[in-house]
Structure 1
Amino acid sequence: MSTLEIRDLHVSITADDVEKEILRGVTLTINSGETHAIMGPNGSGKSTLAYSIAGHPKYTVTSGSVTLDGEDVLAMSVDERARAGLFLAMQYPVEVPGVTVSNFLRTAKTAIDGEAPKLRTWVKDVKEAMGNLRMDPAFAERGVNEGFSGGEKKRHEVLQLELLKPRFAILDETDSGLDVDALRVVSEGVNRAQETNDMGVLLITHYTRILRYIKPQFVHVFVDGVIAEQGGPELADRLEDEGYDRFATAGV
């Protein structure tokens, strides 16, 4: 079993020469096979947590720790974090013109595993994964996310997830911009990856609709850079009914 452990994490950003603290002491532990949902209003720090774990240079960790099986994640470069088994599915995947999806996937797999996958097996795996996600095989020869719709970009993120087989996946609003059918297909892909690899999942979302397909064991409410409340799946249903107003009135 692997463990991703976040302890008293404080993170700031600098804008217009002014440093602003976004995360104000986040503590969270995720084990292999577990699904943790993070919910909260806009601007509460959910995406900041995701990008800080992944190593985005915009975010400065001022104190606290992130460890993966006892290894210091914050001391790793971004590529070292990926090779260690961390994966970030971005809320807004970027386009990479001139690099085909097939080349990108095989290059990423080679970098993470330290050796190139056997071509015959790899082609079969890619074709099967694309079929499961209902992606047109022609997408393999298109530029990465170039001209993709929002739903196609999210399917491509999950395609990477299934093929790269990380130990922990951080999904930053993977449900945004998806219609009902695409949401179901993407969710099934995440569930397949988790079942196959005993992967831990940190799922960031505003709404409970994706939680009907990806079932969390733990729900954490993010408000103003801290975890304001924690519970089981029933907490997500309560948030759906009541919203986040009660946290604001409580002065969190």
Structure 2
Amino acid sequence: MTSTTPLLQVRDLRVRVGERTVLQSVSLDVPAGALVVLMGANGSGKSTLGMALAGHPSYQVQDGQALLDGQDLLQLPAHERARAGLFVSFQSPPDVPGVKNNLFIRTALNAVHEARGQQPLDAFDFLASAKQAAQELGLPQAMLGRPVNEGFSGGERKRNELLQLALLQPRLALLDEIDSGMDVDGVRAVVTLVQKLREQGTAFIVVSHYLHLIEQLQPDTVLRLDQGRIAETGDVELARRIARTGFARQPATAEA
């Protein structure tokens, strides 16, 4: 690998969900530290891309390639993709009854540390860093001792995803509507964390329709997904145009 090679390379990815081929052919590059915003109407394939990269068994890759720092993601089981540095947030984070939040995150973090050749964190050191990160994200520290997402509000679930992101510090993060259910302070926490991790080299693909968030994130690239293909590539001006006119297909771009 050279410094000019993108961290993530996706080529002609085709993904089937049930009886429907949702992604027809998607190709994109994401350099280290870059931020790509992915927009598109409901059903265009935004979440499908994230779930396919993460290795969700309901999303069947029919063709194509996805490389993370030269490593073939599609040949790895889901947990090995995470150990390789991939983080995918849920659009609707589920409950994990009976599993305490702090144990869940610490186990995941130590698995990543092992993959990186780093020493595991003991419970004391982990709790100190988790409490600090929770405070910075506006997540009550009491949430650390509760079962994962059980009884959490929508905004608290999203902040809990941010807590995992802050502690895991992945190489590539795909955030699926991370702003959904967030208040103003929550959106500010998203922007602050993303900027901090980008400075450390983490690359991002952010699915969002919230123009205010997109403008604050200052993306390198904005992509419009349409019927399972990337129909347009632009910058923040593309996001602004979509905010004004919606996702109605334009004759000038329908061939893209």
Code of the aligned partner of 1:198: G
8 Å contact from structure 2 (residues 105, 164) kept in 1 = yes
Matched with 1:177 is 181
Code of the aligned partner of 1:74: L
Aligned match for 1:143, one of 143, 147, 155:
147
Matched with 1:228 is 231
Moved more, 34-43 or 237-246: 237-246
Matched with 2:137 is 133
8 Å contact from structure 1 (residues 66, 74) kept in 2 = yes
Q: RMSD over aligned Cα, in angstroms?
A: 1.7
Matched with 2:72 is 72
Q: Against the structure 1 CA distance between its residues 247 and 54, is the aligned structure 2 distance closer, same or farther, given a 3 Å change threshold?
A: farther
Question: What is the deviation of 1:249?
Answer: 9.3
Question: What is the deviation of 1:47?
Answer: 0.5
Aligned length: 247
- Deviations 1:216-235 (Å, cap 9, x if unpaired)? 11000001100000011111
Q: Measure, in 2, the Cα distance between the counterparts of 1:248 and 1:166.
A: 39
8 Å contact from structure 2 (residues 95, 148) kept in 1 = yes
Question: What is the deviation of 1:205?
Answer: 1.2
Q: Against the structure 1 CA distance between its residues 248 and 87, is the aligned structure 2 distance closer, same or farther, given a 3 Å change threshold?
A: farther
Code of the aligned partner of 2:204: V
Aligned match for 2:205, one of 187, 202, 207:
202
8 Å contact from structure 1 (residues 85, 166) kept in 2 = yes
8 Å contact from structure 2 (residues 95, 149) kept in 1 = yes
1:1-252 matches, cutoff 5 A: 1=3, 3-14=7-18, 19-114=19-114, 115-195=119-199, 197-247=200-250
8 Å contact from structure 2 (residues 231, 254) kept in 1 = no
Secondary structure in 2 aligned to 1:156? helix
Question: What is the deviation of 1:65?
Answer: 0.4
Q: Measure, in 2, the Cα distance between the counterparts of 1:69 and 1:185.
A: 28
Question: What is the deviation of 1:69?
Answer: 1.6
8 Å contact from structure 1 (residues 135, 155) kept in 2 = yes
- Deviations 1:35-59 (Å, cap 9, x if unpaired)? 0000011010100011000001001
Code of the aligned partner of 1:117: L
Moved more, 145-154 or 212-221: 212-221
Question: What is the deviation of 1:250?
Answer: 6.3
Which 4+ stretches in 1 moved above 4 angstroms?
248-252
Code of the aligned partner of 1:243: G
Code of the aligned partner of 2:26: V
TM-score normalised by the chain length of structure 2: 0.91
Code of the aligned partner of 1:167: R
Q: Measure, in 2, the Cα distance between the counterparts of 1:47 and 1:247.
A: 23
Q: Measure, in 1, the Cα distance between the counterparts of 2:131 and 2:182.
A: 23
Moved more, 153-162 or 238-247: 238-247
8 Å contact from structure 1 (residues 219, 232) kept in 2 = yes
Q: Measure, in 2, the Cα distance between the counterparts of 1:107 and 1:70.
A: 26
Q: Structure 2 regions of 5+ residues with no counterpart?
A: none
8 Å contact from structure 1 (residues 223, 247) kept in 2 = no
